[in-house]
Structures are given as C-alpha cells and as structure tokens.
C-alpha cells in the first residue's frame, strides 16, 4: 500500500480539474455536475469538503444530466465520500465499488516480438479503427474468444467519440497507444494528463485487447508502456480497475491498491 501523503487529495483535485476544458460545472448541493459534449461525458462527483451526499442530491444531479443529453453517472472515492453509495442506491442507481490503484514501482513488460506499439497522432487515418477495437473489447469483457475484427460500419455516436478523441489528442489531453500485429490493431489504451496545481497527474484509461487475443499479456504490456510514457512528465499515475482480477494484472506492472472508486448509473435491463 503506498504511503505517500496526499495521494487521495491529489486524485480528487485531478477529477475536479479534468472536465474544465470541455464542460461547464453546475453545482447541485454537494455535487459538481460537468455539462459538456455527450461524446465525451464526465460523471457527477462529490465536491471535496462538501456536506454528505443525499438521495435528493443524486436525483437532482441525474435529472440535470438527462436533461442535457448526458448519460447518468456518478463517481466518488469511497474513503472520501462514504455516504455516496447509500444515497445513489436510494435514488435508484446501481452501485459498483472498484479498485483504485496508483503507480508505486513501475515494472517494464514487453510485448511479444511480433506485436509493435505506436503512439497515435491526432490525424492518424486509422483513429476510428482503433476506437472500434476498444468498443469491441469492452462489449465483450469476458469473451467470446471468437470475436474478431470490429465491424466496419461506424454509428453516429462512435463517430462523435472519434471526433472528440481527435481534438483531445491534438490538445495533449489524451495520449493514445495502439498495438499492431500484422498491421492490424489488436490492443489500445490511453493516459490522460492534467495539470493539478502545477504538477502533472495522469489517469490510465481504456486499456483494451480484442477478445480473441487475450491471455497473451498484451494489455499488461500496453499498460506498462503507458505508465512509462506518463511517468516521463507526470508526478502521479493512477487508474480504476474494472474488478479485482483486472487489478491484479495492473499490479504486475507496478500499480498498488490505494482506495476504492464508487461508480453509479442507471440499471440496465436484466440487472
């Protein structure tokens, strides 16, 4: 467990600063609700030092998100906002608690010799293809193993996401890497640097491997490369893992568990 003081303070300030270039912040009781482009939404979050979140606060925030065409989403650090989960459930949201990790001792993991890693430029003509790799991977978190190349057709919401990604890469707010095998993208991931009171902090996000190519260590090696790149300028690198099994993969590249991230959204059919 990292012992460096102020890590949670720094991460909370990161989350407060990250939406500012893209969204205006509406205050709803103790919650800050970023309102911006639906193609790149930010969740509502408790404001550090504010009063405990209530179910009424959550209902008001989610109503504002829906009225703005944004997905309903609330996130918090459990150790900082222990009442948020209860409030979110009382407001009818589904709550998950996920591992929050920070880089402690980076470990270099190499990709297989036949897989090559590249930094993605904002004008890369294959940017939409890389985005489809991520969408395919996250649509099939546990398989099936025979899911291959993502479909060529690109829905409107995906095209809008690619346009937002282009702007973020051009502005340096997203650093994206892609792993190619035989010229085809097989894994992608990013880190998102933000200036926090004069020091750079970056979050590793969206590390994804095509389902048929999992269990080859591609995700871990890609995360290792992202950590190395972020560490060239960032004072702190962190991420939220999708579950404990994923957290163990990140621990292999030098992350250590620090706290718990709470996430809440609308229940989907079948949940």
215-237 tens-digit pLDDT: 778 889 999 999 999 999 999 99
Q: Is the predicted pLDDT of residue 9 greater than 50, yes or no?
A: yes
235 against 141, higher pLDDT: 235
pLDDT band at 205 (very low <50, low <70, confident <90, very high): very high
156 within domain boundaries: yes
In the chain, the percentage of residues whose pLDDT exceeds 70 is 91
Q: What is the pLDDT of residues 38-47, one digit of tens each?
A: 999 999 999 9
Residues 126 and 228 in one domain: yes
Residues 130 and 68 in one domain: no
Look at residues 99, 130, 164 and tell me which one is the last residue of a structural domain. Answer: 99
Q: How many domains does the chain have?
A: 2
74: left (phi over 0), alpha (psi -120 to 50) or beta: beta
51 within domain boundaries: yes
Arithmetic mean of pLDDT, 136-163: 66
Q: What is the pLDDT of residues 82-114, one digit of tens each?
A: 999 999 999 999 999 999 999 998 888 888 888
Q: Is the predicted pLDDT of residue 193 greater than 80, yes or no?
A: yes
Q: What is the pLDDT of residues 157-180, one digit of tens each?
A: 788 999 999 999 999 999 999 999
Residues 219 and 150 in one domain: yes
Mean pLDDT rounded to a whole number for the chain: 91
177-196 in b/e form (b: 16+ CB < 10 A) is bbbbbeeebbbbbbbbbbeb
Domain extent for 160: 115-253
Residues 39 and 129 in one domain: no
Residues 133 and 245 in one domain: yes
pLDDT band at 50 (very low <50, low <70, confident <90, very high): very high
Residues 123 and 214 in one domain: yes
Rounded CA separation 154/159 (Å):
6
270 within domain boundaries: no
């Amino acid at each position: 467990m990292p012992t460096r003081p102020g890590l949670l303070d720094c991460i909370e300030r990161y989350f407060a600063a990250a939406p500012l270039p893209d969204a205006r912040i509406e205050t709803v009781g103790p919650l800050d609700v970023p309102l911006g482009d639906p193609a790149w939404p930010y969740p509502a979050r408790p404001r550090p030092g504010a009063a405990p979140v209530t179910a009424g606060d959550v209902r008001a925030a989610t109503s504002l998100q829906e009225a703005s065409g944004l997905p309903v989403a609330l996130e918090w650090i459990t150790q900082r906002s222990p009442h948020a989960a209860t409030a979110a459930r009382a407001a009818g949201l589904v709550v998950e608690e996920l591992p929050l990790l920070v880089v402690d001792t980076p470990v270099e993991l190499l990709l297989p010799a036949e897989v090559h890693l590249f930094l993605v430029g904002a004008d890369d003509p294959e940017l939409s293809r890389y985005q489809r790799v991520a969408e395919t991977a996250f649509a099939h978190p546990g398989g099936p193993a025979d899911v291959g190349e993502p479909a060529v057709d690109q829905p409107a919401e995906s095209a809008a996401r690619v346009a937002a990604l282009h702007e973020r890469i051009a502005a340096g707010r997203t650093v994206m890497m892609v792993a190619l095998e035989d010229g085809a993208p097989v894994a992608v991931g990013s880190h998102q640097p933000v200036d926090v009171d004069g020091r750079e902090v970056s979050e590793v996000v969206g590390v994804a491997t095509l389902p048929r190519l999992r269990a080859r260590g591609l995700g871990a090696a890609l995360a290792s490369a992202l950590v190395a790149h972020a560490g060239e300028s960032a004072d702190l690198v962190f991420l939220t893992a999708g579950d404990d099994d994923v957290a163990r993969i990140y621990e292999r590249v030098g992350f250590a568990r620090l706290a718990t991230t709470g996430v809440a959204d609308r229940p989907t059919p079948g949940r």
